[in-house]
Amino acid sequence: MKHSSFNLSMRRRQRGFTLIEMVIVIAIIAILLAVAVPVFTTHLRHANEAVLKEDLYNMRQAIDQYSQDKGKAPQSLQDIVGAGYLRAIPKDPFTNSDSSWQVVQEDVLTSVDQNEPGISDVKSGSSVVGSDGTAYSSW
């Protein structure tokens, strides 16, 4: 009889965790999250900045190629897509929109027969400041 009551008490004890064990596990998880979340957000921001730089580079290259080939600057970003220099206008990673790009119109005409100035540069439409301390809209 004594033997069966000992087994019964051992089974009850082995069924679950004590409150102290649960608090310790939760505290360890909280500490790990407190370290991991800021590192993750920093890496995510750097990744978005890399995407922004690449998109700006590609769009600027397309504007330059369009201007050289056509003898005039594009009037809109859609002109570049329509002429096949870009597949589509990329989404700004910080505004998550393809219509928030800020185009820079230049008053200089690139050829004699050009009657309207066009786009000379493109910038991000985001007002957020980057990790280097400058606004994304100035990149």
Cβ atoms 21, 27 nearer than 8 A: no
Any domain includes 7: no
Any domain includes 136: no
How does pLDDT run across 15-29, given as a tens digit for each residue?
788 999 999 999 999
Owning domain of residue 23: 17-127
DSSP line for 49-116: HHHHHHHHHHHHHHHHHHHHHHSS--SSHHHHHHTTS-SSPPPBTTTTBSS-PEEEE----SSTT--S
Counting Cα atoms < 13 Å in the Cβ hemisphere of 48 gives 19
Which pLDDT score, from 0 to 100, does residue 11 have?
Answer: 61
CA 89 to chain centre: 15
Any domain includes 135: no
% of the chain exceeding 90 in pLDDT: 76
> Considering only CA atoms, which of 137, 111, 115, 112 is closest in space to residue 124?
137
Any domain includes 9: no
**pLDDT lower than 70: segments of the chain:** 1-14, 108-115
Question: How many structural domains are present in the chain?
Answer: 1
- CB count in 10 Å sphere of residue 65: 14
Which pLDDT score, from 0 to 100, does residue 13 have?
Answer: 57
